[in-house]
Copies of this chain bind each other. A is one copy, B any other.
Amino acid sequence: MSDVLWNTGGRGAPAVPSAPALAVRAAELDAADPLAERRDLFALDDGVVYLDGNSLGALPRHVPARMAHVVAHEWGELRIRSWEESGWWTAPERIGERIAPLVGAAPGQVVVGDSTSVNVFKALVGAVRLAGDDRDEIVVDATTFPTDGYIAESAARMTGRRLVPVAPGDVPAAVGPRTAAALVNHVDYRTGRLHDLPGITAAVREAGALAVWDLCHSAGALPVDLDANGVDLAVGCTYKYLNGGPGAPAYLYVAERHQRRFDSPLPGWNSHADPFAMSPGYAAVDGARRGRVGTPDILSMLALEAALDVWDGVSVHEVRAKSLALTDFFLECVRAYVPEGRLTSLTPAAHAERGSQVALSCEDAPAVMARLIERGVVGDLRRPDVLRFGFTPLYVGFADAERAARVLAEVCARR
């Protein structure tokens, strides 16, 4: 894997800007940033540089008041009436429509509920069933976030398919007439590598299989364009770049062309065509709602709904531009401040291959991250040796990136 820190583009050692110059440039970049004022929408402490929004997004400031109203009024006073009067019953599809534009989906294709793992199961079993009985293999991204692999194995076992783990770049070569579906992560949770969603999707579909994407580490940080790229099914969480709160419910995208034949392995009563008929026979509802299962967890769901307000008027392309500028600038600062060879970057240099995080490795990563957090620079550790820094464009600025790199250099100077 190429190291973007000190060996960019095969040139010799690049010219290294000085610390004051980088701090000045950070201030200029922040001043010119059209998203800079979005930071005020979040509850953030200026003493902390929060670079862990790729694990848990920060709290939007208006969410506590909304939640207080939900708990005290909707639950406490209206009680059962809220299922209709407060719109609880329709929350999964209503919130799905809020997420849809962020992932490039036309209305009617996204529904919110359950965890990402549960949605991977629905999507993968659903995809296998759509592909038909003569296709007996499920291709899965071998570098995937582990839960996807574990659930894919269960889906394969329960549908009588064989699991074929490959690296994402090898998916186009691995798919063929036996492939039912391929499950791939859009951005690798560990390295921050962005995979070629358009190319892989096209190759999978060309082979007659279904492309299933996990968007946990991309949605809210970069354009996904599910519809435009012909993705078949997708899942994602909402507590990272979408700031929905700890363990906020995940979402499921089923492309409109597949919805009539989508056959969920978890056909709970919420996906029934007439749920309150309470009829013993199951009849699936049409549309995105078919992805629902049981009673939705309203408190978590309505916190997510409120949190999505921070996206009003934001273009995901603008977010992507800032994300790349931030990670570029952070890498530049690290290169300037940290002695050559002290850290290795796992994050690709090419923009087309980079998500919205920077992953740096070193042998003493656990100690380095502990000291960084003590110093107010919050990233996270992925064992054994990866420092992860997530850049959430709605609330992280260039001065944050410069400060994080400066503190990282100071921490790295101690062994």
A residues within 8 Å of B by Cβ? 43, 45, 50, 52, 55-56, 58-59, 63-64, 67-68, 71-72, 74-77, 79-80, 82-83, 88, 114-118, 121, 125, 142, 145-147, 149-151, 153-154, 158-159, 165, 190, 237, 239, 245-250, 264-270, 272, 276-280, 282, 293-301, 303, 378, 380, 382-383
Contact = CB atoms under 8 A, between A and B. Distances in A.
Copies of this chain, tallied across the complex: 2
A71 B79 contact: no
A152 to B, nearest CB: 10
Contacts of A118: 114, 118, 266, 268, 293-294
A247 B296 contact: yes
A150 B298 contact: no
Contacts of A55: 80
Shortest beta-carbon contacts, A-B, top 8: A115-B294, A117-B294, A117-B268, A246-B298, A147-B269, A59-B76, A297-B300, A247-B297
A248 B88 CA distance: 13
Contacts of A300: 297-300
Find the residue from A45, A58, A154, A190 having the highest chain B CB count within 10 A: A154
Contact of A282 (B71, B153, B297, B383): B153
A268 B151 contact: yes
B88 A246 contact: yes
21 contacts: A43-B77, A56-B75, A56-B83, A58-B76, A75-B245, A83-B246, A114-B115, A117-B268, A117-B294, A118-B293, A145-B269, A146-B272, A146-B278, A146-B282, A149-B280, A149-B282, A150-B267, A151-B268, A190-B278, A299-B299, A300-B300
B116 A295 contact: yes
Contacts of A265: 121, 154, 158
Contact of A82 (B116, B146, B246, B249): B246
Contacts of A88: 246-247
Given A118-B266, A118-B293, 16 more contacts: A45-B77, A56-B83, A64-B76, A68-B68, A114-B118, A117-B294, A146-B278, A147-B269, A150-B268, A150-B272, A151-B268, A190-B278, A247-B301, A276-B383, A297-B297, A299-B299
Contacts of A298: 245-247, 300
A245 B299 contact: yes
A159 B158 CA distance: 7
A115 B293 contact: yes
Contacts of A250: 294
A142 B280 contact: yes
Find the residue from A45, A67, A116, A297 having the highest chain B CB count within 10 A: A297
Given A72-B64, A245-B299, A115 B43 contact: no
B76 A71 contact: no
A184 to B, nearest CB: 15
Contacts of A159: 158
